[in-house]
Copies of this chain bind each other. A is one copy, B any other.
């Protein structure tokens, strides 16, 4: 079997153009050439994320930054907003770091609502919260804008937001949201290879970090800031990823950010409509569906159609496409279709044709 095109929710397909950019001849990471590269992508990253803050580049997957964020920012107690495999895991990671933490757990498929966070924060016990914007395991998008409004009421609580599968797929205005950390990995909506992370941190978060002992070195926010001011990174970075990112950013701005966001809306509508057409329901609660992937219900919730997911996956593999068969405790009880990255109406049309054919073969 040759290469399978990835329609799993990350890593996603990487284009030839991106691979070529990645293979740019090597330069030293303490050279002017490197500073030129960083200072070229910096304003693009700032525009993309709606921020005047410096954007940091981390040679790690997103989990490294997530662990770093809580090591940098939690001195009292952390509230972890939990609504799926990835957001749930953050509580476990906090425990492993020896950080006092409590979960605000809702059922998988349901969103985190501002009211519930407000009730928790009202206790005055918490100095930080973690929130996953787009919970990839359930295909759910939490109401980030509404949640961020709480920041006015709780200015000293650090709002740490994972936008792993939403960054570059939906508008994210860091400064307007007023949150404290926004982070993502590269192998999702960015359509870059895995192994790299991007994040931005508020001035208030840097002040907090300065007061936090044992925050370490590799993910020390103050080191990132100090180095970013010189267009450098604290440790030797994955320069190939930055070259690939530079190429990708050029593509984003050449397409236009609004066009890019609209494209994700359109292609996501296509996969959702495909699911309805075949009698499936969606796993996330209505009104909170992610727009970068579709999590199709297949028995995890009562209503809707049920098919043999591993067989559907195999039929799709025969057609050269890899789709996901559900994650964590809903494996097999849901399946996921990604429209992240470079996917267009045409390529999602092709996905749908192949899904239609596979459904016929399933009988």
Interface residues, chain A, CB within 8 Å of chain B? 3-4, 6, 8, 10-14, 19-20, 22-23, 25-29, 31, 59-64, 67, 71, 92-93, 96-98, 185, 187, 193-196, 213-218, 220, 234-241, 322
CA gap between A236 and B185 in the complex, in Å: 9
* CB-based closest 3 A-B pairs: A195-B238, A98-B214, A19-B23
| Inter-subunit contact B193/A238 (CB<8 Å) | yes
6 more A-B residue pairs beyond the given contacts A6-B28, A59-B61, A194-B237, with a C-beta to C-beta distance below 8 A: A12-B26, A28-B322, A60-B64, A64-B64, A64-B218, A96-B215
| Inter-subunit contact A216/B93 (CB<8 Å) | yes
Task: Please name 15 pairs of A and B residues whose Cβ atoms are closer than 8 Å in the assembled complex, sorted by A.
Answer: A4-B27, A11-B26, A22-B23, A28-B322, A59-B59, A60-B60, A60-B64, A62-B235, A62-B236, A63-B236, A97-B214, A98-B214, A195-B195, A195-B239, A240-B240
State the copy count for this chain: 2
- Across-interface contacts of A25 in B (CB, < 8 A): 3, 14
- Across-interface contacts of A215 in B (CB, < 8 A): 96
CA gap between A130 and B22 in the complex, in Å: 34
- Across-interface contacts of A67 in B (CB, < 8 A): 216-218
CA gap between A15 and B352 in the complex, in Å: 40
CA gap between A11 and B34 in the complex, in Å: 12
- Across-interface contacts of A193 in B (CB, < 8 A): 26, 238-240
CA gap between A236 and B236 in the complex, in Å: 19
Known contacts A97-B214, A97-B216, A195-B241, A61 near B236 by CB under 8 Å: yes
CA gap between A238 and B25 in the complex, in Å: 18
CA gap between A27 and B6 in the complex, in Å: 7
- Across-interface contacts of A8 in B (CB, < 8 A): 28
CA gap between A236 and B9 in the complex, in Å: 12
| Inter-subunit contact B27/A218 (CB<8 Å) | no
Nearest-neighbour CB distance to chain B for A84, whole angstroms, equals 16
- Across-interface contacts of A22 in B (CB, < 8 A): 19, 22-23, 240
- Across-interface contacts of A97 in B (CB, < 8 A): 214, 216-217
- Across-interface contacts of A96 in B (CB, < 8 A): 214-217, 220
- Across-interface contacts of A220 in B (CB, < 8 A): 96
CA gap between A241 and B31 in the complex, in Å: 22
| Inter-subunit contact A237/B61 (CB<8 Å) | yes
| Inter-subunit contact A216/B59 (CB<8 Å) | no
